[in-house]
Structure 1
Amino acid sequence: MRTTLLLFFLLLGFGMHAQTTVQGTVKDEAGEPVPGANVVIIGTTTGTVSDFDGNFTLATSQNPPFVIRVSSIGYTEVTTQITSSNQTVAIVLKEAQTLLDEIVVSASRTPERLFESPVSVERFGLKEIKNAAAESFYGGLQNLKGVDINTNSLTFQSINTRGFATFANTRFMQLVDGMDNSAPGLNFVLGNLVGMSELEVQSVEILPGASSALYGAGAFNGILFMRSKSPFDFQGISAYFKTGITSQEAAGDNNYYDFGIRAAHAFSDKLAVKANFSFLKGEDWHANRTDDLNRPGADRTNPAYDGLNVYGDEVGTLLNFDALAGLPSGTVGSAFVTRTGYDEIDLANYAAESVKTDFSVYYRPFADDFEIVYNGRIGRGNTLYQGANRYSIKNFILQQHKLEFRNDNFFLRGYITSEGSGDSYDTRFAAINVNRRWKGDTQWFTEYAQTYIGARLGVGTGNPLDDATAHAIARQTADTGRFLPGTPQFQNAFNQVINDGDLTTGAKFIDNTQLRHVDANYNFTHLTSDFADIQIGGSFREYVLNSNGTIFTDFDGPINYNEYGAYLQIQKKFLEERLKFTGSVRYDKNEFFDGFFSPRVSLAYTAGENRNHNIRISAQQGFRNPTTQDLFIGLNAGRAILVGSAPNNLDRDIRSFPVSSSGQTITGSSTATVVGRDAYENAFSLASVNAGTPTAVNTPLVQPEEITAFELGYRGQFGKVTIDLSGYYNQYNNFISNTTVLVPFYGQAGDNALSLLALQNGDFFAYQTYTNSLADINSYGANIGVDVKVFGNFDLGVNYTYAELDFDQAAFPDFRTNFNTPNHKVKASFGNTELFKNFGFNVNYRWSDTYFWQATFADGQLPSFTVLDAQINYAVPDIKSVFKVGGSNILGYEYFSAIGTGAVGSIFYVSWTVNP
């Protein structure tokens, strides 16, 4: 059935040949070409864009007469009547007083004015890319209203909208020319590490909030769309080169390089190709906080020290010195002791790097709008990723290969995404297992205990030592022979560990996961426009999990599963095209869960004599399937074991643990076996144990997460002033998150007998489960943006965002929402693209309120911060070049995006861009 439907779409596309061709140029009032201008036939979805020289060609099956609308950001739209085939037109755009006339396609999967979009949309086009003050166009996106960027590292920035931000942002989707840019094994986007070169970007659109009705399960909390330039419209060789420094207190000043080149050529009106290459290199932000995670204010003299960016010191045990020495209880006491760790700088690869390449072939067999496109993208990079631990991502590769058939009315695309973890490793386990290479845990703790007991009793000296001195001598003795960073012994052990994929002895993680995806869409508007605009579409996806048992429980071979969906959308205008109705519904099915319908309804009304006010309201339901890791992870992260809750995963995770001497007396065994099912069916809640009242908990298996979202918005233009404001309210059901539980090695949790003894004897281990909240979780917020021309032709923009979580944490102390979003954010921009001839500048300001960061690595309060980015640019038309000098965070006020990351410092750069 699926194959028949796709062939039907394809045959329809072949059968609709363009009969009319319109050619033209788009220029401004000064006679300069306007690249990227949108050209659309009014009342249809047929359209194109102007190339870098302002030229365009529009092919359509519609016979004249008809009217085209030409628009571009910063200009007033123009309509022109087409009366004959092969007509040539010259369009002159006047500078606009509003920024709302640009065309977007993401909100409804069809071209429409941003002003009339049924939901909130943020757009970043060629003009914004040119004037971005940040070091990259991707970094510049954080100046859009309602958009957050959490900086995980120099080459990994995670975009988020409307809360629930982590670096593993599984609630946010990024599409690059229609392909999901998420790493299939990691389940999230690695920023623009393996994305798109800024030379290749035609436009970026961001949809905040749920969009499941059109885009499926991943479109839960926002989508970013990147659209590339066509080689038919943007030809020639273009390049850029940036160089400068990164500056951070922990890392000092280091060189920064960024280079890119794009080549595109149309051999005829049927065949065109393009290729891109970009390379970025710099020193990553160093993370060097040594705060004790469990005892605020404690330093390394604490025997139980566990530093934030210190690893290996998670390995610890309760040493009962009296029992070990056969002394009466209370003689020298007991203490929890951890091994000596290594600082992150001794373990992590801070050589940040990103290499992106892509190649495309565009073929138009009939020299009309029907197009066959092959696109291959390969990205390789080094970065740091913070999840449960800090991971050194080294030589990570993500590649995507797509074949697409399309015309103005349909598309059919299929693509494969493959990831390869390369030489990546876990810094925490690197430290743990380097320690174990020179001395095993048992030997280390035995030597510690013997030395401590002797020092406290004055054995051999007759002079008993105080507690602090005894602990210091015990650690010094146990650390005898320790491999020190910078020595050959350390380096040899380190190299062996990071190339070993067994986390009991090594630190390397292996991931060669794939996803295979097919989706299609057909727009019937050209057939049904007298009644309504109608679209249908669908998708199919298969995951192939392949980590050799290092991340998933796929130790006996790859794990496969699939999901599919289909949707319908209807749009209709009423009341002299002032009232626009949009209705959508989608059905999705994952093989592990029941199917789900996600509808969306919106109304948008354009008011005012000049149609300069637009009010919109929408309601929609969305959902999110549990990720590959929610279902099939089986990973010992050091502080806890992560075990996914797919029903057939619970008995696949099997582990052995050493049992204490007291436990051995009870069980008669020196080891205990724990399966993943125990985390869900035989465990205590962490909060209850910490409170001294151990309570057994049965954790339900994870189910799809659901959202009901409401939005109300207004857009208006008042002369030179543009206002865009919106408010939203989200209700979550079955909210997916994690709980931490303690699994006893013997007894049944809640038996008030053996399981309690297991807790007392330290015979338990922490597990992280994947489940859904029983609590009511809601979020709401609002944002307002004002853009205005001041002092003639200066651009001034200010926006404010408010976000709030509604959740009773006290009633559900074990549940973690990871909202991770400030209540208040303010952003502002000021610039002039033509301060004087060929010279422009731009300044961006951001302020973020303090907020609480909650994640598996560490929790804590993030201070408020202020960031200022700025750039000046000078164009030299004779050599088709733009020179830019700029910087991000130029005031040097370092700030943190999360607890545990390196402080974000400053980047200063100069760049030279050449466009044909």
Structure 2
Amino acid sequence: MASCFVATAQTTISGKVIDDNNQPIPGANITLKNSSSGTVTDFDGFFSLTVQESPPFAIEVSSVGFESSLTDITSQISDLIIVLKEGTELDEVVISASRTPERIFESPVSVERFGIKEIKSTPSVDFYGGLEDLKGVDVNTNSLTFKSVNTRGFATFANTRFVQLVDGMDNTAPALNFVLGNLLGMTELDVNSVELLPGASSALYGANAFNGILFMTSKNPFDHSGISAYFKGGITSQEAAGDNEFYDYGIRMAHKFSDKFAAKANFSYLRGTDWFASNRINVLNANTDRSDPNYDGLNVYGDEVSANIRGVGVALVNLGVLPAGAENLLPNQSVSRTGYDEQDLNEYRAESIKFDAAMHYRPFADDFEIIYNGKIGKGTTIYQGANRYSIRNFFLQQHKLEFKNNNFFIRGYLTDEDAGDSYDTRFTGININRKWKDDQAWFGQYAGAFVQATLAGQLPEQAHLLARQTADTGRLLPGTPEFEQVFNQVTSDPNLATGSKFQDETQLRHVDANYNFAHITKDFADIQVGGSFREYKLNSSGTIFTDFDGPIQYAEYGIYTQVQKKMMDDRLKLTGSVRYDKSELFDGNFSPRLSVGYTLGAERNHNIRASVQTGFRNPTTQDLYIGLNVGRAILVGSAEDNLDRDIRTFDVSGNGQNLIGSSSVAITGRDAYENSFSVNSVRNGIPEASDVAIVKPEKITAFELGYRSKISRFVIDLSGYYNQYKDFISTESVLVPLYGKVGDGTLSLLALQNDDVEVYQAYTNSDVDIKSFGGTIGVNTKILGDFDLGVNYTYSKQDFDKKKDPDFRAEFNTPEHKVKATFGHTDLFKNFGFNTSYRWSDSYLWEASFGDGDIPSFSVIDAQINYKIPKLKTTLKVGGTNLGGDEYFTAFGTGFIGSQYYIGLSINNL
């Protein structure tokens, strides 16, 4: 009998990783060269790595902000000391620019990185807010928990030109078509890196990768195991809201069970009081206040409902309610109903609950990995679109299955949203009024009281005041049980004719794949191929979309390839890529990109780059299928099969009834495109037919030049861009007559004269050439020893001739000049550090469907100090934002942004 056995070699290496100042480096990666086996250092810089291999071999040690180190191992060792030299941000590795790892220094396009070091040192309350300090980045604050990131202009809160990917999953709410900031995103403890790619990126990432992409990558439990937690608490301070407490806490649990299986789970909870919006400017006449009979306040709702008071008098005379001739005592002007302030209709609760779990399986204990990732989020915030919306108990879930190794990935995920108890504040105000007293009764009482006051000899101003007091007698008052009862009825009713609730269960299904042939074709070039498939299922039960008779589904797909080649002693880097995308609703689009990078200098410390690329953006789900009355206008999507589904019935005036012999008419969405007046022509007194075409994909051609260098202790990064847009997607407001055909010469003009028109907001493209251009420059260095100093400047400008298309709204919404600076020290003295940031923004015009207005320039200072307690593996952090206390706002109609002061503890956060 013979027997044999095979023994597997096993080697353990342990030690410590430190920097040039003998300080430990927590969270450093230690990996076996050319293998996925690895570990990370603990809070004190210690590590222990066991590999199934006998010496000699090599281990690679790396950490963000430091130069990587390769160490040869010749025997088992337990006291290895590895010193990492401090590097610069140009040495950091990014993946987003080319879908393959490369140094920022050699990236073919502009890219920003926000890593673990920056997350820990940001003076902002959370890491997402810290993105404001990056050059070229705009962050518009919609609420305490909803911040919208944007680059290179054309920003709104419905930021459909900017994509956010969390572990490869598009974090867009599919019905809303935009990302709700980090409300339902990633917990701070699990963030491994954040990369931001400004500008067009359709060649690699497809439709809507148009103005930029934000990539957030989480920590792998194989590399980052253990339990970590944080807690933050403090106050928000605002003149309108006062001082209010907020708190934010989270926990991360991860464990590596073996070389084959690891898992993690994350949970976080935030709650506070949102910024109150209390701008009561009259949007119809900024020079008047609430004494104006036709007052329509910006953050006041219900007062959008108005009627021509003389027209009301004519109807009352015809009904015999008023005597003949009484209509002549009424002025020929519009009067609005009395509205409710936003704070009467919104509790301003800001809340975010996030949970995710992932299982990672490496069946062969190598780089091949199978990942299941599930994310659920529930939140309450405020969203400003065409109206102000209370997003209450909004729920979003994502489920992903991914197969990958160092050369490929294939992933599929589902995004499912539920609007929860969300409601429209404008229609809440409108329908609370109507529940109490319908419009016909209210305006009738107003007209009757005005006539009586006039006959009694009162002046028009006094007559209007008395008429409103009469019509408002018994009005529901905020805070009373009667008001609360009606408020609850309205906000739970999804029919906007009587309620204000959003009802939505829209889904998005997405599959994408990529294969990198670099390991096969490395002697020739790095070659990648990939593709994606996406399907939408719109399901709002007719409350947002025209899906009255069931869900609406449509799909789009794309394929791409990229070739990257280094030449001339690896100094010259050429990158070419092209992508083809097709939506079932539109013709296909090709998106090529070509970039050239060249490294100069004997020490290879200068790099210049140039790129040209095209991009495109498909119309969003709302551009295509929305059918929503938002009070000031009716939004109608322009998909061909949508135009005849949107059918609405409107009452006509007494004069109109005499003209057409009917008290009501039916209007379809098609009328907005084929039978409407240009708003601008009506304002100028020469009514003309609008020229609104069906929406189609938007295209961009983007040119960019850039330079990066390290000169002594200075790191310089500058870039400039020039964008040309074709078929730019936006909206145009048009006036649809309730009778007659535009151009008939008589009846449609009488409809205008009698105010028998409805405002529609149509989704279309501009024929006018729209261009934008700008640039950034950033300089980072160390001064006075080891103090970190960074300064950057951003210039942004659009080129659009308003005279050629006066009804078109470009909505650039970006300051021309921005300056930002950071100053700090990670170790001012033992275990103590600090960081400060300063931001200045130029004034600019905000254009959006909710309202247009000037945004004054503002300056903001944030600061934090921190103290490490190594024995407890804990960091104590105290800080504040907007320390100057000068309240500001970044969009017209939002609440003013006050100050936040916080204290936080972070435990075992590597």
Q: TM over 0.5, yes or no?
A: yes
Residue 648 of structure 1 is matched in structure 2 by 641
Alpha-carbon contact 1:626-1:703 (below 8 Å) kept: yes
Q: TM-score, normalised by structure 1?
A: 0.94
Residues 886 and 795 from structure 1, CA distance in 2 versus in 1: closer, same or farther, beyond 3 angstroms? same
Match of 2:372 among 365, 371, 374: 374
Deviation at 1:454, TM superposition (A): 1.4
Instruction: Pick closer, same or farther for the CA change 1:823–1:836 going to 2, 3 Å.
Output: same
Question: Is the CA contact 1:563–1:589 (under 8 Å) kept in the aligned structure 2?
Answer: yes
Residue 710 (structure 2) aligns with: 717
Q: What is the CA deviation profile of residues 374-404 of structure 1, one whole-angstrom value per residue up to 9, with x for unaligned ones?
A: 1100010000000000000000001101011
Distance in 1 (CA, whole Å) between partners of 2:788 and 2:588 is: 48
SS at match of 2:89: coil
How far residue 491 of structure 1 moved from its aligned partner, in angstroms, is 0.7
Could you tell me which residue of structure 2 aligns to residue 785 of structure 1? 778
1:100 aligns to what SS in structure 2?
Answer: helix
Match of 1:313 among 303, 306, 327: 303
The aligned amino acid for 1:436 is R
Q: Deviations over 1:348-367 (max 9, x none)?
A: 13010000000111111111
Partner of 1:801: 794
Query: Against the structure 1 CA distance between its residues 661 and 711, is the aligned structure 2 distance closer, same or farther, given a 3 Å change threshold?
Result: same
Contact persistence 2:597–2:607 (CA under 8 A): yes
Q: 1:56 touches 1:233 (CA, 8 Å); kept in 2?
A: no
State the shift of 1:551 in Å.
0.1
Single out whichever of 313-322 and 545-554 deviates more from structure 2: 313-322
Q: Name the residue aligned to 1:631.
A: 624
- Of the structure 1 ranges 51-60 and 538-547, higher mean CA displacement relative to structure 2 is found in 51-60
The residue correspondences of 1:127-146 to structure 2 (distance < 5 A) are: 127-146=117-136
For 1:581-600, list aligned pairs within 5 A: 581-600=574-593
1:8-407 maps to which residues of 2 (within 5 A)?
Answer: 26-30=17-21, 32-35=23-26, 37=28, 50=40, 52=42, 53=45, 55=47, 71-79=62-70, 91-96=82-87, 98-320=88-310, 323=314, 324=317, 326-327=324-325, 331-407=329-405
For residues 67 and 810 of structure 1, the distance between their equivalents in structure 2, rounded to whole angstroms, comes to 67
Preserved contact between residue 643 and residue 769 of structure 1 (Cα < 8 Å): yes
| 1:885 maps to amino acid | V
CA shift at 1:319, angstroms? Answer: 1.5
Specify whether residues 527 and 58 from structure 1 end up closer, same or farther in structure 2 by C-alpha distance, changes over 3 A only.
farther
Is contact 2:35-2:367 (8 Å) kept? no
Contact 1:588–1:596, Cα closer than 8 Å, also in 2? yes
What is the Cα-based RMSD across aligned positions, in Å? Answer: 2.5
Correspondence for 1:765 among 758, 765, 777: 758
- Quote how far apart the aligned CAs of 1:75 are: 2.3
Residues 571 and 89 from structure 1, CA distance in 2 versus in 1: closer, same or farther, beyond 3 angstroms?
farther
Structure 2 counterpart of 1:813, from 798, 806, 810:
806
Alignment of 1:868 onto 2:893 = no
Q: Are the equivalent residues in 2 in contact too, given 1:518–1:539 (CA < 8 A)?
A: yes
Residue 470 (structure 2) pairs with residue 480 (structure 1): no
What is the deviation of 1:32? 4.6
Q: Which whole-Å CA distance do the structure 2 matches of 1:779 and 1:59 have between them? A: 54
CA shift at 1:55, angstroms? 5.0
- The aligned amino acid for 1:877 is P
Counterparts of 1:329 and 1:774 in 2: how far apart (Å)? 46
SS in 2 for 1:95: coil
Per-residue deviation at 1:697?
Answer: 1.5
Pair 1:331–1:317, CA change in 2 (3 A): closer
What is the identity, as a one-letter code, of the residue corresponding to 2:130? G
Identity %: 63
Q: What SS does the aligned partner of 2:200 have?
A: coil
CA deviation after TM superposition for structure 1 residue 83, in Å: 9.9
Who is 1:568 aligned against? Answer: 561
Following TM superposition, by how much is the alpha carbon of 1:590 offset from its aligned partner in structure 2, in angstroms? Answer: 0.5
Structure 1: distance between partners of 2:175 and 2:304: 26
- Using the alignment, how far apart are the partners of 2:47 and 2:135 within structure 1? 32
| Whole-angstrom CA distance in 2 between matches of 1:245 and 1:757 | 57
The verdict on how the C-alpha distance between 1:172 and 1:453 changes in structure 2, with shifts beyond 3 A counting, is: same
Residue 17 of structure 2 contacts residue 41 of structure 2 at CA under 8 Å; is this kept in 1?
no
Structure 1 pair 560/58, CA: closer, same or farther in 2 (3 Å)?
Answer: farther
Does 1:750 find its partner at 2:743? yes
Residues 292 and 528 of structure 1, relative CA distance in 2, 3 Å threshold? same
Cα shift at 1:88:
12
Residue 696 of structure 1: SS of its match in structure 2?
coil
Residue type matched to 1:363 in 2? Y
Q: Cα distance, 1:67 vs. partner?
A: 8.7
**How far 1:21 sits from its partner (Å)?**
11
* 2:815 counterpart letter in structure 1: P
Query: CA–CA distance in 1 between the matches of 2:46 and 2:571?
Result: 31
Alignment equivalent of 2:419, drawn from 421, 427, 435: 421
> How far apart are 1:95 and its partner, in Å?
2.0
Q: CA deviation at 1:108?
A: 0.6
Assess, with a 3 A threshold, how the Cα gap between structure 1 residues 26 and 219 changes in structure 2: closer, same or farther.
farther
Number of residue equivalences: 891
- Find the aligned partners of 1:116 and 1:448 in 2 and give their Cα distance: 71
List per-residue Cα deviations over 1:76-116 (Å, max 9, x = no partner).
344557999999986421123x3210111110111111111
The corresponding residue for 2:667 is: 674
CA distance in 1, matches of 2:13, 2:371: 23
- Tell me, in whole angstroms, the C-alpha distance in 2 between the residues paired with 1:408 and 1:56: 24
Per the normalisation by structure 2, the TM-score is 0.94
Say whether the 8 Å CA contact 1:584–1:601 is kept in structure 2: yes
Which letter does structure 1 place at the counterpart of 2:274? D
* 1:533 counterpart (520, 526, 532): 526
Counting only pairs closer than 5 Å after superposition, residues 417-496 of structure 1 correspond to structure 2 as 417-458=415-456, 464-496=457-489
- Aligned-residue offset at 1:235: 1.0
Q: How far 1:20 sits from its partner (Å)?
A: 13
Counterpart CA distance in 1 for 2:92 and 2:147 is 27
Does structure 2 conserve the Cα–Cα contact (< 8 Å) formed by 1:48 and 1:56?
no
Distance 1:767 1:209 in 2: 32
Contact 1:72 1:101 in 2 (8 A): no
- Kept after mapping to 2: 8 A contact 1:45/1:409: no
Rate the CA distance shift 1:210–1:772 in 2: closer, same or farther, 3 A.
Answer: same
**Residues 276-305 of structure 1, C-alpha deviations (whole Å, 9 max, x = no match):** 000000000000111100111211111000
Measured in 2, the distance between the counterparts of 1:752 and 1:602 equals 56
Change (3 A) 1:296 1:48: farther
Deviations 1:751-808 (A, max 9, x none): 2210000000011100000011100000000000000100000000000000000001
SS in 2 for 1:695: coil
The 1:795/1:135 distance shift into structure 2, 3 A limit, reads same
Is 2:758 the counterpart of 1:735?
no
Deviations 1:665-708 (A, max 9, x none): 11111001000000000000111111111110131100001000
Shift in Å, 1:65: 11
Counterpart AA for 2:234: G
* Letter in structure 2 aligned against 1:260: G
List per-residue Cα deviations over 1:134-186 (Å, max 9, x = no partner): 10000001000001100000000000000011000000000000000000110
Structure 2: unaligned runs, 5 residues or longer: 1-8, 318-322
